[in-house]
Amino acid sequence: MSSPKSSLRPEILNPLFVKTTALKGIGPRLGKLVEKLVGEKIVDLLWHLPSGLIDRRFSPKVGDAPPNDVVTLTVEVLAHSPPPPGNRRVPYRVTCGDDTGRIVLVFFHAKGDYLEDALPIGERRVISGKVELFDGRRQMTHPDHIVELKDIASVQRVEPVYPLTAGLSGKVLDRAVKAALERAPKLPDWLDPAFKKQRQWPDWHEALTTAHNPTSEAELSPLTLSRSRLAYDEMLSNQLALSLVRLKARKRRGRELKGDGKLRAKVIAGLPYKLTGAQSRTLAEIEADMSSENRMLRLLQGDVGSGKTLVALMSMLIAVEAGAQAAMMAPTELLAHQHFENLKPLAALAGVRLEILTGRVKGAVRTEIMEGLANGSIHMVVGTHALVQKDVEFADLAFAVIDEQHRFGVAQRLELAEKGRGTDMLVMTATPIPRTLALTAYGDMDVSKLDEKPPGRKPVDTRTISLERLDETIAGIGRAIQKGAKVYWVCPLIEESEVTDLAAAEDRYATLKARLGNTVGLIHGRMKPNERDVVMEAFASKDGPGKDSSGPKILVATTVIEVGVDVPDATIMVIEHAERFGLSQLHQLRGRVGRGGKEGTCLLLFAPPLGETAKARLNILRQTEDGFLIAEEDLRLRGSGEMLGTRQSGMPEFRMADLSVHGELVAIARDDAQLIISRDAELKTPRGEALRTMLYLFEQDEAIKTLRSG
């Protein structure tokens, strides 16, 4: 997202929106490291809170300094002992002392002239670091601080400890954050005064200063008044931004789409089962949205196998009944083909024309589909982002479905809507999202949940097995495939790296192939999408009567198979190093088996010994198949950032708020944002002006654009 133009940003914030290299001591080299750690602007340093502290207030005499403690000593420099020339392995030593004893400062690979300058003989200096005993004598290796007596206050304090990155020292970062804090202005308060008073929260500036200067371990807790206030500010900016964007989307005229129900009735009559209560309820919500003049923007959350595709089809048919067209966009060729295959017989029941458009569709076929979309003879289309290419035109696109939204950017979602007029939009995800996360990521949408499994779905038998029993497990899998089973074997990494001892997919593939022969296939994220599709299609191909399909019976894979892939014959899922996966991810993978009316088994292989949290997490999977419950537990046990791998999931990244701790504040921030908008949507009141400043401070650019464009 581009940054809003500085001329429109309140001037009071400008000092925070320059590069960190403007700070003293941060040159181009350090600037790159700071940028990698926190971001390139000074404001980014403010959001980087301490994770620990070092108390340097203890200042005994040298003779009383206890070993293994951090102390701050005032000493006289007595003698320098540089290493012999050419011998770099001997350290440079500097002897210091006071009237109670002596201490030797030890420096490896030190520059002599620097030390002579920092520690001149005969002068007094303040040093701080950990005391060690070596041959009965006190020493300090590489003191953390060496300053003149006049600067003792800068050292003799509780020093915050920040998360670091390789090459960046704590001392440099601490100085940079201090300098950033000095630039932080006092701002008019954007919080509701009564709410702020009830919570006993400090002003923003005071909260920031306190959070960066903890004086005890207790003050590092995310639940302190200062940190809670900062977390709330961050969430309020997120919720207010979403509410403003949503308000603008709602103001854009939609169109009233009302169907006569005839096409839907044909599909329902031809189904071998009845809709679940959750499907009927969701369809009623969608139908109400479509028949109103506002544009629909609805998120459909449904666990694996809860019947989302059918809901999407019935919704698309409402648009067709109303004389318009509908489109469904999936993130991969494979998923698009799968949706197409699943929808084709249902579209045939309704007597409507359904086609597929992906990057692979070329030549005369593509031309024919393009013409059909443009003249309206194709009622529904399934595709990949090939659907949003410039030359694709619709006669009248009124309804768009986006599958697995987190794999697309918001821009791509909007591009499809722009192909029509007042297009209603349904966004689907098979990843159950805890309520707090749904509020922060999809707060601009209404939410429907499919929380029932279709009748006849058998639970997957889930077991945990130690990796020490790997040989037994492989033998058991060998017996299962001889009886016609198909098996997924999921590994967490692609190839051995020095950093990790995880069984890599390529390694496991080689082991299984050696034991079980050519029944094993391999698929991973570094393969080209079309290579992956070929392997996947071979694995999915059905065994014909009296003959074996030539495809693999065991598919060794990384998590690329997680979303959407449907192989009805696959009944066993083996997940290696299950303790390294997120719960929601394990639940997603488990949902890939037992889909064809056959019973499924999921084997969670773990490396012993398991810690308490890992044990608790794997047990939850054995106890329940409720994806929403599992997602809430995952959030509680792992925290929000790690749970989602936020960077790739389209979720907002919070710097100070942790949804597993501050979850209750999200709902409060949402209510607050809605109240603000109902009273002052243009943010023109004094509090509105302060809130506008807050949006700039937290770089909520989309919302700012919305405000500017009215």
Of residues 441 and 390, more confidently modeled: 390
In terms of average pLDDT, the best of 25-39, 201-215, 290-304, 557-571 is 201-215
- For residue 678, give Cα distances in angstroms to 237, 256, 668: 16, 25, 15
pLDDT tens sequence across 32-62: 999 999 999 999 999 999 999 999 999 999 9
Question: What average pLDDT does the segment 398-403 reach?
Answer: 93
pLDDT tens sequence across 403-443: 876 666 556 667 788 898 889 989 898 777 777 777 776 66
CA distance 653 to 655: 6
CATH number of 262-450: 3.40.50.300
Separation of CA 566 from chain center = 25
Q: Give the length of the chain.
A: 710
pLDDT tens sequence across 227-265: 999 999 999 998 998 888 778 766 777 788 999 999 999
When pLDDT is cut at 50, 70 and 90, the band that residue 456 belongs to is low
Answer yes or no: is pLDDT of 207 > 90. yes
What is the per-residue pLDDT for 501?
Answer: 40
Of residues 551 and 288, more confidently modeled: 288
Task: Tell me the pairing of strands 137-141 and 461-466.
Answer: unpaired
Question: Whole-number mean pLDDT of the chain?
Answer: 86
Contact 542, 553 (CB under 8 A): no
Of residues 167 and 404, more confidently modeled: 167
Answer yes or no: is pLDDT of 99 > 50. yes
C-beta neighbour count of 32 within 10 angstroms: 16
What is the per-residue pLDDT for 123?
Answer: 96
What is the per-residue pLDDT for 213?
Answer: 94
What is the per-residue pLDDT for 549?
Answer: 57
Contacts made by residues 272-280, CB under 8 angstroms, sequence distance 24+: 273/454, 273/455, 273/456, 274/455, 275/307, 275/310, 276/306, 276/307, 276/450, 276/452, 276/453, 276/454, 276/455, 277/452, 278/306, 278/449, 278/450, 278/451, 278/452, 279/307, 279/310, 279/311, 279/450, 279/452
When pLDDT is cut at 50, 70 and 90, the band that residue 124 belongs to is very high
* Nearest C-alpha neighbor of 227 from the set 671, 701, 665: 665
What is the per-residue pLDDT for 422?
Answer: 85
Cβ neighbours of residue 199 closer than 8 Å, sequence gap 6 or more = 225, 228, 229
Contact 78, 38 (CB under 8 A): no
Phi, psi (5° rounding) for residue 262? Answer: -65, -45
Cis peptide before 609, with omega less than 30 degrees from 0?
yes
In terms of average pLDDT, the best of 80-89, 116-125, 251-260, 562-571 is 116-125
- Percent of the chain past pLDDT 90, that is, above it, reads 54
541 CB-contact burial (10 Å; exposed 0-12 / middle 13-18 / buried 19+) = middle
What is the per-residue pLDDT for 547?
Answer: 43
What is the per-residue pLDDT for 408?
Answer: 64
Separation of CA 252 from chain center = 30
CA distance 171 to 162: 10
* Domain locations along the chain: 1-53+173-184, 57-156, 262-450, 461-624
- For residue 575, give Cα distances in angstroms to 361, 522, 560, 645: 35, 15, 13, 19
CA distance 261 to 584: 37
Answer yes or no: is pLDDT of 308 > 70. yes
Do 262-450 and 461-624 have matching folds? yes
299 CB-contact burial (10 Å; exposed 0-12 / middle 13-18 / buried 19+) = buried
CA distance 337 to 328: 11
The single-letter DSSP state of residue 84 is P
> What is 461-624's CATH number, 3.30.1360.120, 3.30.1490.20, 3.30.360.10, 3.40.50.300?
3.40.50.300
CATH number of 57-156: 2.40.50.140
pLDDT tens sequence across 332-357: 887 898 899 889 999 999 999 999 99
Question: What average pLDDT does the segment 369-386 reach?
Answer: 95
When pLDDT is cut at 50, 70 and 90, the band that residue 3 belongs to is very low
Of residues 358 and 540, more confidently modeled: 358
pLDDT tens sequence across 588-645: 888 888 776 778 999 999 988 888 878 888 888 888 888 878 877 777 766 554 444 3
C-beta neighbour count of 275 within 10 angstroms: 18
Query: Please, where are the H alpha helices in 156-224?
Result: 170-183, 193-199, 204-211
> Which range (12-21, 136-145, 188-197, 487-496) has the least confidence?
487-496
CA distance 172 to 150: 20
Radius of gyration of the chain (CA): 31
Answer yes or no: is pLDDT of 319 > 80. yes
Q: Which residues pair with 262 in a beta bridge?
A: none
Answer yes or no: is pLDDT of 704 > 80. no
**Vertex 61 angle, CA 58 and 65, to 5°:** 65
**pTM of this prediction?**
0.68
When pLDDT is cut at 50, 70 and 90, the band that residue 652 belongs to is low
CA distance 488 to 490: 6
Helices (H) and strands (E) in the chain, counts: 26, 22
